[in-house]
Amino acid sequence: MADKFSFDIVSEVNMMEVENAVNQAQKELANRFDFKGSKSSIEFNKNDKKITLVADDDFKMKALKDILEGRFAKRGVSIKSLNYKSQEKAFEGYIRQVAEIISGLPSDKTKELVKLIKDSKIKVQIQIDGSKVKVVSPKKDDLQQVITYLKGTFFSLPLQFTNYR
């Protein structure tokens, strides 16, 4: 029997599901009555991991976000993985907004996560390994407590727990 148990905390996004969600959002946009005759659009750039939303006005921009976020939720992709940039003026008075897809844990978020786990006072060892956090303990119960604790707290990125051993 192993004397130490561990798991990894990661934040990954399934890009295929993101692409499917964007395609469904584009289809819904084409069929929506309130967008008939509008130049509103949703474009996805796979290489840059960015979604560009273009709308006629603020009301339609909010509707575009609702469509996109609804499709993300239906495909099982966390809305927390979208990082909206500020709105900017586009051609002929339209509004453009870019949403970046965050995949992986940036170094500042890994440090925030480690601090969160340490504040829980659960007796585990924590190691930062690139874009993931490894949690190690001699007791499986402690690891399960950490997972339950993290699921109960609000963290700005979606978290997955992998390699549970």
| Domains with residue ranges and CATH for the chain | 5-12+105-162 (3.30.70.860), 15-101 (3.30.70.990)
Per DSSP, the three-state class of 112 is helix
Judged against a pLDDT cut of 90, whether residue 65 lies above it is answered with yes
pLDDT, residue 130, reads 82
pLDDT, residue 92, reads 82
Q: What pTM, to 2 d.p., does this model score? A: 0.81
pLDDT tens digits, one per residue of 26-61: 999 999 898 888 889 999 999 999 999 999 889 999
Q: Name the one residue in this structure whose structure tokens are 């993290």.
A: 150
Whether the CB-CB separation of 101 and 50 falls below 8 Å is answered with yes
Band the pLDDT of 71: cuts 50, 70, 90. very high
Nearest to 153 by CA among 119, 108, 111: 119
Q: How many helices (H) and strands (E) does the chain have?
A: 4, 9
Judged against a pLDDT cut of 80, whether residue 2 lies above it is answered with no
Task: Name 54's bridge partners.
Answer: 41, 96
pLDDT, residue 159, reads 87
pLDDT tens digits, one per residue of 102-160: 888 888 888 889 999 898 888 899 888 888 899 999 988 988 999 999 988 888 888 88
pLDDT, residue 29, reads 92
Q: Which residues of 63-84 are buried (b: 16+ CB within 10 A; e: fewer)?
A: bbbebbbebbeebebeebbbee
Q: Name the one residue in this structure whose structure tokens are 């939720």.
A: 73
pLDDT tens digits, one per residue of 52-61: 999 988 999 9
